[in-house]
Structures are given as structure tokens and as C-alpha cells.
């Protein structure tokens, strides 16, 4: 039997909290950012926030520095779309590249003595990094993998670029995912980390007692419709959802939910068609971008961390900026915290150039 990846630790650094618990409390209270959110820490803050989230996840999982005979078996996978971009722009050393985030994390946490990989696939980077880590677990490449996604690129160059693309909202509107009056997303910065461990599913539930969730299924795809636009029919997303959901009940769908004119209706239509099981309560559709903004390459792993906390607390977080929910056939778009048993959740992500990913989690 192949080892199964389970999530045993979380770390989060966001505009609303220095750690996972602070971020959770802020989201539960209905707080949200009102402008593009740049974190403190100088030009190298991509390194700093990645290290902070990574350290929190390691502590949460209670990994010690070594387990018997496991030298070289604790790996690191980092997802980022731009890395420490401001350091590059100021004075790019010859050895500074996307891998510098992983090197900074590994320098701070020497127990990460196994393979070290950096994944960059635009706004799908975080989920792609998680999927790569799961493949390492199931393929026997590592016994434990720390997955980190970090993004710190709120900078005039990228704000100007996204403004020209027409995906940023007008002043004072904010990000309103799945809302009729949506107008685009606010850019933000964040880092997320999850600790993955290999577990054999043998029917002994004690093996999963301390886990937030296990990674059940995942799928990656490429939407080659346009360099910056997606397929209006959502064919790639639908194909991936069909594989991951496989007609089984879903309680929570954490969409990419950018609050843009094109993305949100395509996602909701796909969720309505492929994520609804007969004789099961309507799934909840959620996007954290209304509260936290769009952290680009980190956003997918932020979704995973928040899904894990919703599994554990039995609460679906509110879509606080969704003033006028878009019509759906079955999906429920809650605007207040909703107490609900969450047994299976989905997270989706997509990026410019077409990288797409879907991951399902199930409660341990």
C-alpha cells in the first residue's frame, strides 16, 4: 500500500495575522483588507515571511530534529511566482533566483535535510507545490515534507501591470468574490506552510489522531486558451474537478475566487455541475480573497491551510465582502460564519499562462 500524505502542522503569515491563529480569528470576526496589502520586512520579506510560516508549521507538527534512521528523509518544497523580487530588482546577485526562498527556509530549519525543490507556476504555485510534495510522499522519496508558499510582490511594477490588465478594482471597492458587484482583486502578500507526513491507512485511526486532514486526491492541468485569460467554458477546471470529486459528497469548496468578471461565474458553474451529490447538503463556496486579497503564488496554499482549520473547527468562514451573492443552482455562498461538519473539502487555483490545480482534503 502506498503511503498517504497527512497534514499535521500549519503556518500562516497574512495581512490579518502574524500566524495561523491570528489570521483565523480575524477572518472569523469578519475583518478584511481595504487596499493592496504589503507586509513589513524590507526587500527580503519573501524570505522572512516564508521562514516565519515554515517555523510555525514545524512547531505545530512537533517534528523533532531527527527520527531514528530518517536522515535525508525530510524534504522541502517551495511554491512562489516571483521569489524575492525586490531584492532582484535592487541589485541582483549572480546566485539570487527563485530558489533563494527555499535556501532561506532550509538555512533556518536544518532538519530539512532531504530533497529541496522550488515550484513556480504563477498563481497555482502553492497548490502545485503541495501536489509535488504529495507525489514525493506516495512515491517514497521522503517520509516528511514541509511545503511552503510565499509571495511578496506588492510593488508599483506589478500593480501597474495588473491595472493595465483590468483585474484590479476601483478605489474603495475592494475584492468581492462571487458577488454580482465584483470589480477585481486587491493584491496582497502572504506565506503559508503545511507539514506533510507519510501514513499507512490500515484502519487504525490513532495514526491520524493529530492530523488536520489527509490529502485525498489531486490533479493538475494546463489551460492553453490565452496567456492571461481562461477558457470561458472552464474545460480544464471541469476535467480536474471531475477527477478529484468523482461524484462524491463535498462540504466546502474553496475556489480561486478572484472577484473578477471572468473567473467567478466559470468557477461557480463548474462547482454547481460537478460538486453536488444527491441527498447531501449543498456545498459551501468560499474564497479568502475577499478578506485577505490575492497573494498570487501563495494563495493556493493559504486556501489549504484555511481549509484545514475549517475541518478542525467545523466552521465555514464567511465571504465577508460578497454583498450580492451571484445566483447558483445549488451552491451556498455564506456571508456569515456557518457551523458545519466538514468532511471533504476542495481547493482550486489557476494562474496566468494556464496552470490549474484542484486538491481534495478529507477529515482524519
Residue 167 to residue 187: CA distance in whole angstroms? 10
- Report the pLDDT value the prediction gives residue 341, as an integer from 0 to 100: 96
- Report the pLDDT value the prediction gives residue 204, as an integer from 0 to 100: 47
List, in sequence order, every residue forming a beta bridge with 254; answer none if it has no partner. Answer: 286, 347
Residue found by looking up cell 490588465 in the block = 165
Residue whose C-alpha is closest to residue 5's, from 177, 208, 262, 298: 208
Secondary element (H or E) of residue 20: helix 20-28
With b for 16 or more beta-carbon neighbours within 10 A and e for fewer, the 199-215 pattern comes to beeeeeeebbeebbbbb
- Report the pLDDT value the prediction gives residue 92, as an integer from 0 to 100: 63
- Residues 108 and 54 sit within 8 Å (Cβ to Cβ): yes
Helix (H, G, I), strand (E, B) or coil at 249: coil
pLDDT digit string (tens) for the chain, length 364 residues? 688 999 999 999 999 999 999 999 999 999 999 999 999 887 789 999 999 999 999 999 989 765 545 678 999 999 999 999 988 887 666 666 889 999 999 999 999 999 999 999 999 999 999 999 999 999 999 999 999 999 999 999 999 999 999 999 999 999 999 999 999 999 999 999 999 999 876 554 544 778 999 999 999 999 988 777 788 899 999 999 999 999 999 999 999 999 999 999 999 999 999 999 888 999 999 999 999 999 999 999 999 999 999 999 999 999 999 999 999 999 999 999 999 999 999 999 999 999 999 999 999 8
DSSP secondary structure code for residue 186 in this structure: -
- Report the pLDDT value the prediction gives residue 231, as an integer from 0 to 100: 87
Distance of CA 122 to the CA centre of its chain: 12
What domains appear along the chain, each with residue ranges and CATH number?
4-207 (3.40.47.10), 216-362 (3.40.47.10)
Helix (H, G, I), strand (E, B) or coil at 238: helix
Residue 158 to residue 167: CA distance in whole angstroms? 12
Neighbours of 302 (CB within 10 A): 29
Q: How many residues does the chain have?
A: 364
What angle separates helix 299-313 from helix 20-28, to the nearest 10 degrees? 70
Distance of CA 201 to the CA centre of its chain: 25
- Residues 348 and 253 sit within 8 Å (Cβ to Cβ): yes
Amino acid at each position: 500500500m502506498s503511503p498517504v500524505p497527512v497534514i499535521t502542522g500549519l503556518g500562516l503569515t497574512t495581512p490579518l495575522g502574524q500566524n495561523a491563529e491570528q489570521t483565523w480569528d480575524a477572518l472569523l470576526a469578519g475583518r478584511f483588507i481595504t487596499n493592496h496589502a504589503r507586509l513589513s520586512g524590507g526587500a527580503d520579506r519573501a524570505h522572512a515571511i516564508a521562514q516565519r510560516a515554515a517555523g510555525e508549521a514545524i512547531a505545530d507538527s512537533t517534528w523533532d530534529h531527527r527520527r531514528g534512521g530518517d536522515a535525508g528523509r525530510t524534504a522541502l518544497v517551495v511554491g512562489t511566482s516571483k521569489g524575492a523580487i525586490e531584492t532582484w530588482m535592487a541589485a541582483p546577485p549572480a546566485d539570487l533566483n527563485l530558489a533563494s526562498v527555499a535556501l532561506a527556509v532550509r538555512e533556518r530549519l536544518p532538519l530539512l535535510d532531504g530533497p529541496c525543490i522550488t515550484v513556480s507556476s504563477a498563481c497555482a504555485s502553492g497548490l502545485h507545490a503541495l501536489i509535488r510534495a504529495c507525489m514525493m510522499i506516495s512515491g517514497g522519496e521522503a517520509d516528511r515534507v514541509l511545503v511552503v508558499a510565499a509571495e511578496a510582490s506588492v510593488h508599483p511594477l506589478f500593480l501597474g501591470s495588473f491595472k493595465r490588465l483590468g483585474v484590479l478594482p476601483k478605489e474603495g471597492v475592494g475584492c468581492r468574490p462571487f458577488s454580482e458587484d465584483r470589480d477585481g482583486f486587491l493584491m496582497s502578500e502572504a506565506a503559508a506552510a503545511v507539514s506533510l507526513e507519510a501514513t499507512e491507512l490500515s484502519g487504525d485511526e490513532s495514526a491520524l489522531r493529530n492530523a488536520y486532514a489527509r490529502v485525498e486526491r489531486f490533479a493538475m492541468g494546463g489551460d492553453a486558451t490565452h496567456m492571461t485569460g481562461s477558457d470561458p467554458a472552464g474545460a480544464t477546471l471541469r476535467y480536474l474537478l471531475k477527477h478529484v470529486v468523482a461524484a462524491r459528497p463535498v462540504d466546502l469548496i474553496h475556489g480561486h475566487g478572484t472577484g473578477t468578471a471572468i473567473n467567478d461565474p466559470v468557477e461557480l458553474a463548474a462547482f454547481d455541475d460537478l460538486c453536488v451529490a444527491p441527498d447531501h447538503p449543498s456545498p459551501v463556496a468560499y474564497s479568502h480573497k475577499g478578506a485577505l486579497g490575492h497573494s498570487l503564488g501563495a494563495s493556493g496554499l493559504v486556501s489549504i491551510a484555511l481549509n484545514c482549520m475549517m475541518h478542525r473547527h467545523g466552521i465555514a468562514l464567511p465571504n465577508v465582502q460578497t454583498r450580492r451573492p451571484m445566483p447558483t443552482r445549488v451552491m451556498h455562498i455564506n456571508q456569515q460564519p456557518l457551523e458545519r461538519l466538514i468532511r471533504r473539502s476542495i481547493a482550486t487555483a489557476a494562474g496566468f499562462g494556464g496552470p490549474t490545480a484542484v486538491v481534495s482534503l478529507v477529515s482524519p
